[in-house]
Amino acid sequence: MNKMFMFDALREATDEEMSRDQSVFVLGEDVGHYGGSYKVTKDLHAKYGDLRVLDTPIAENSFMGMAIGSAITGLRPIVEGMNMSFLLLAFNQISNNAGMLRYTSGGNFKIPLVIRGPGGVGRQLGAEHSQRLEAYFQSIPGLKIIACSTPYNAKGLLKAAIRDNNPVIFFEHVLLYNLQEEIPNYEYILPLDKAEIVRKGTSVTIVTYSRMRHHVIEAVDSLVKDGYSPEVIDLISLKPIDIETISKSLQKTHKMIIVEECMKTGGIAAEIIAQINDNYFDLLDAPIIRLSSQDIPTPYNGNLEKATVIYPSQIIEAVKKMV
């Protein structure tokens, strides 16, 4: 076992896949000589050269189009968004090309593309650098969406995403890069379509993902001392949503709280609630509670920023109210 930061786990996954497969390459702003804004590609340029760790101009729509074109020809590009918010400038390429070309070509083209980078609400990064984009991409056909939450799952999921023949949006939370964890020395791959049961319990199902996993765990540590037994599920896959794992948990608890950093209106929680209501409504003993970010641009002011997102105290209050 090696203890490493999340950014190192992501770097190791990228390095291993580039060594394994000559068709894998990285492109994006400052990924080469500088080593990436959060050092996920540090030293890879010296090892693999300019053509496999490619510094691009500040033109997201252009280099996203180039990445999709290279995927069509058989390469496996990894696009790093310096901040995932910037990829809104490439939304047309991601939706109309990456998501659709395998279908509109009648299966003649595969799009083995990974789009990864930092996102979520940071610490006083301002509205344009603190966006929660998962709901933006969630409705696009043809995409897979992953939100890693620990160094362990970040490495295993990124390796799986690079090997997948479909476009994968891979969200990394900007405040989790310095999270440390023991990671096995041997190679492992994690499934892209399965949620993780972080803690088994019987009193209430708490569904969450990304940074909110850690807020939930902090809240659960307090709740257990008070005699509650929450079951915690980390979604990991935001598309497709592993509704089967959620439904099996509901068969035990019959109560559910969803904790997300996404906006409440049209967010990931809204989609989960719709699927539960469509297929598993009879399992519920109480209305689902969703704890989501405020539907406003994230303020720069530190105190106002804290007021827009969910914290452990709110999770504790919601569990006690429901149970």
Would you name the residues annotated as active-site residues? 60, 129
State the Cα–Cα distance between residues 73 and 314, nearest whole angstrom: 49
Q: Are 29 and 23 in contact (CB under 8 A)?
A: no
Other residues' Cβ atoms within 10 Å of the Cβ of residue 21: 14
36 Rama class: left (phi>0) / alpha (psi -120 to 50) / beta? left
Q: Are 72 and 101 in contact (CB under 8 A)?
A: yes
Q: Which residues contact 63 (CB under 8 A, 6 or more apart)?
A: 27, 28, 56, 57, 79, 90
Beta strand 230-234 pairing with 289-293: unpaired
DSSP string, 39-66: STTTTHHHHH-TTTEEE--S-HHHHHHH
